Structure 1
Amino acid sequence: MNTGRDRFRRPLQWLLAPIVGAVAGFAYALIFDVEALHSAVRGVFIGTPILLYERGVIMRRWRNIIRQAATPVFVVTTIATYVLMILIGNAAAGTALHHLIGYMSTAREAMVMSESGLLYSLGVSTLVAFVFRLRDLIGPSLFTSLLLGRYHRPIEEERIFLFLDVSGSTHFAERYGDLETQAYLGQIFNALASPVRRSQGSIDDYIGDMALVTWPMDRGMRDAACLRCVFDFAAAIRDQAAAWQARFGQVPEFRAVLHCGSVVTAEIGLERHKIAYFGDVVNTTGRLESLSKALGQPILVSADILAGIRVLPPHLVAENLGFHVIRGRDEPLQISAVRLALGS
């Protein structure tokens, strides 16, 4: 389910991609002392499809396939994809320049790419592939935070936490073995990636068969993004039920709990950096997962979450389950179960 913010971001990407491509073209003109307009046009035609591809706007299925490959395969395949885009983009730019401003005597000549242009494009493409692979490996939000040094000094902030636990994974492992279980969990967490991205959340960690997802408070509450993420994930699993049944012999089920509040966020580690969260909110969210299992409710949220969202989306309903004592807390916490409304 796409939000209004998603619909806004897509046109923005189509606008920014050619601008970034033009800037790269101008940079090439400055470095190699060539005509700036021609270089900028080539930059637009070459850079735009590459940037849109990396943002998942075009060729999304192919991109998702190779992102799951081992890093050497990913890099080689990605660069090969870039090379194809570079050649096609350069040919299109040369044709446009020839027909619009009479560049070169024939379109064939205009389509020829210089050796320096090809090497420059390949160099930039290789750098882009490396950066995006690193971003995929450690997560977009963590990558940006570490790059900017946002949490180099601990800060206190308001965040939403989602603990999403795959139900029955132990039984699955007993039946099929650890290797098949890892493949099973890997596919489930791959399916979770798109709903998290659309909700502008961040998968901050995987702990066994559980994923930890977080949002800054305002971002996760806006348009009930944190709840929409959970139900978008459930819909994705449901829509592919036949494929899950055929591949793994069952359709995944999960428990999800959400809580929010003030935490201290800090960058920790020396040789391996990580963003960590400290505070009662994280511990409480983890204990809500056990409560979800005890109550037989697959999706639980705290009263703090519902208070922040204020108005639930029309396809969701919340059932107040009252106050429950949570280990480690002095005060009982009010809990609600959230589910799809009848007819949704």
Structure 2
Amino acid sequence: MNRELKKYLIILIKSLLFWTIAMCLHVFIRYLGVYDEPGIHVNFEYELSLIDNLKYGFLSGMLIGFFLSLVEYVFEKYLAYRIPMWLYFIFETIAYFIVLAFVLIIAFFFFNKENNTNYFTKEYLRLDNKVYWAYLIYALYISIGLSFIRISTEFLGGNTFWKILQGKYQTPKEETRIFMFLDLKSSTTIAEKLGHFKHSKLIKDCFFDLNEILLNFKGEIYQYVGDEAVITWIYTLGIQNNNCTELFFSFRDRLKNRSPYYLKNYGIIPEFKAGIHGGKIITVEVGTIKKEIAYHGDTINTAARIQSKCSEYQQQVIISKELFEALNKDNSYKTIDLGSILLRGKEVQLNLLGLKKYHNKK
């Protein structure tokens, strides 16, 4: 399946489920208390059964879910990385308002035909109709709330946001994780050639491409440090389908496929090097003014040291032999035994492998 189509289908399914539940809940609440609300006439067709009213909630939820998923997908694809966040939020809110206003009228129109009611009348379309505005403001309020949540998850990372919300790591916990330190090759030379401003734009573009494929390999961004990205996996997810190594080669191929863009704008095709290692780590929530999930332990330090050996051994990827042995062997990898190496700050030597991947294999 096309990657863009798959991405939209995920957005669509989530949107349909959420809005169907949200609108049915709103209909249920209003059905129970509508006669007690000032300004609502008793003859406003609420002699219909709860099931009939829930049918409207289902219909409006499905329509809202469908159209707002299109808005979200289009905005994310064409505007999210091109305009400031505050302007993006304003445009998105305006788009939500317009879509919701028309979708709710369409939903009432079909509901009117299905149930032979007079919901869709000139009287209903009056600007002082409180029922219409109640539905519209409710849906707009929910959509704005979702936008804030999405912005929060983008700043913190989706998994990090929910982990902090759950308080999962308020107390330090031991986990087994895999870390990849991904660094731009010849960064100093490139910065001198391009200048710092253009160099920063290059790094931004590279990390944009990285994020486009990251979730396909179950990875999480831990940190961006200059021109380096630190990526982590829960151990079982990292070795599943070789996610921790396949991410690097997929990223490499994506940069090559976009070489015309990079050559046109920067005169180079960026290349990255990576060090990968896995093991025990302590995970804890830190900070008050700015919260984040932090990882402490020898594993993350070792992964950083491994990445520092890439230039010395002229390798794109170096992985600890221990971790490589846990991967699924599908004959698409070629390894170069680098021997037992004493990494800086370590007392025990570690077996390292240079890693290559055959282009004709998946």
Q: What's the counterpart of residue 204 of structure 1?
A: 222
The answer to whether the aligner puts 1:74 opposite 2:92 as a matched pair is no
1:115 and 1:149 map into 2 onto residues whose CA distance is 37
Change (3 A) 1:218 1:17: same
**Alpha-carbon distance between aligned partners in 2 of 1:136 and 1:159, rounded to the nearest angstrom:** 22
Match of 1:22 in 2: 20
Listed one character per residue, the Cα deviations across residues 32-60 of structure 1 (whole Å, up to 9, x for unaligned) are 33633212320221034435765xxx44x
Runs of 4+ in 1 over 6 A off after TM superposition: 9-13, 105-113
Q: Distance in 1 between matches of 2:10 and 2:68?
A: 16
Structure 1 range deviating more: 62-71 or 272-281: 62-71
Q: Which residue number in structure 1 is paired with residue 198 of structure 2?
A: 180
Residue 47 of structure 2 corresponds to none
CA distance in 2, matches of 1:107, 1:286: 67
Structure 1 residue corresponding to 2:111, chosen from 72, 97, 102 = 97
Q: Distance in 2 between matches of 1:322 and 1:53?
A: 53
Aligned to 2:261: 243
Amino acid at match of 1:19: L
State how far apart, in whole Å, the 1-side matches of 2:78 and 2:299 are: 36
Query: How much has 1:84 moved relative to structure 2?
Result: 4.4
1:323 has 2:340 as partner:
yes
Tell me, yes or no, if the aligned pair for 1:94 and 1:110 is still in contact at 8 Å: no
Compared CA separation, residues 127 and 342, structure 1 to 2 (3 A): closer
Taking a change above 3 Å as real, the CA distance of residues 29 and 296 of structure 1, as seen in their structure-2 partners, is: same
Point out where structure 2 has 5 or more consecutive residues left out of the alignment. Answer: 35-52
| The structure with more radius of gyration | 2
Gaps of at least 5 residues in structure 1 are none
Query: Do structure 1's residue 157 and structure 2's residue 155 form an aligned pair?
Result: no
- In 1, Cα distance between equivalents of 2:175 and 2:121: 58
Cα distance in structure 2, aligned partners of 1:211 and 1:318: 24
Per-residue displacement from partner, 1:8-35 (whole Å, max 9, x unpaired)?
x987765554232121112222443363
Q: Is the 8 A contact 1:191 1:237 kept in 2?
A: yes
C-alpha change, 1:212 and 1:103, in structure 2 (3 Å) is farther
1:64-109 CA-to-partner distances (Å, cap 9, x unmatched) read 3322232201211222332344245435534543454445486999
Question: Compared with structure 1, are the counterparts of its residues 304 and 194 closer, same or farther at alpha carbon in structure 2 (3 Å cutoff)?
Answer: farther
Which letter maps to 2:255? I
After superposition, the Cα gap between the structure-2 partners of 1:52 and 1:212, relative to the gap in structure 1 and judged at 3 Å, is farther
Q: How many residues align?
A: 335
Q: Assess if the C-alpha contact under 8 Å between 1:315 and 1:341 holds in 2.
A: yes
The answer for the alignment partner of 1:64 in structure 2 is 77
Instruction: Find 2:356's aligned residue among 300, 319, 339.
Output: 339
SS in 2 for 1:304: helix
Quick check: 108-117 or 193-202, which moved more?
Answer: 108-117
**Closer, same or farther: CA 110–160 of 1 in aligned 2, 3 Å:** farther
1:274, CA displacement in angstroms?
1.6
1:43 corresponds to which residue? 61
For 1:157-306, what aligned pairs fall within 5 Å after superposition? 157-306=175-324
SS in 1 for 2:336: strand
Taking a change above 3 Å as real, the CA distance of residues 269 and 195 of structure 1, as seen in their structure-2 partners, is: same
Identity level (%): 23
Does the 8 Å CA contact 1:299/1:337 hold for their aligned counterparts? yes
Are the aligned partners of 2:223 and 2:230 in contact in 1 as well (CA < 8 Å)?
A: yes
The alpha carbon displacement at 1:143 in A equals 0.8
Which stretch shows the higher mean deviation, 217-226 or 32-41?
32-41
Deviates more, 1:259-268 or 1:226-235: 226-235
Q: Equivalents in 2 of 1:244, 1:104: separation in Å? A: 59
Secondary structure of 1:308's counterpart equals coil
Structure 2 SS opposite 1:67: coil
- C-alpha displacement of 1:218: 0.7
Q: Which residue of 2 aligns with 1:123?
A: 141
Distance 2:262 2:222 in 1: 25
The 1-side partners of 2:148 and 2:120 are apart by: 37
Contact 2:176 2:278 in 1 (8 A): yes
CA distance in 1, matches of 2:122, 2:275: 60
Query: Contact (CA 8 Å) 1:164, 1:212: kept in 2 or not?
Result: yes
TM-score (norm 2): 0.83
Counterpart of 2:360, as a letter, is G
Structure 1 stretch displaced more, 182-191 or 77-86? 77-86
**RMSD of equivalent CA atoms:** 2.9
Q: Which residue is 1:144 aligned to?
A: 162
* Equivalent position amino acid for 1:28 in 2: H
Alignment partners' CA distance in 2, 1:170 and 1:322 = 29
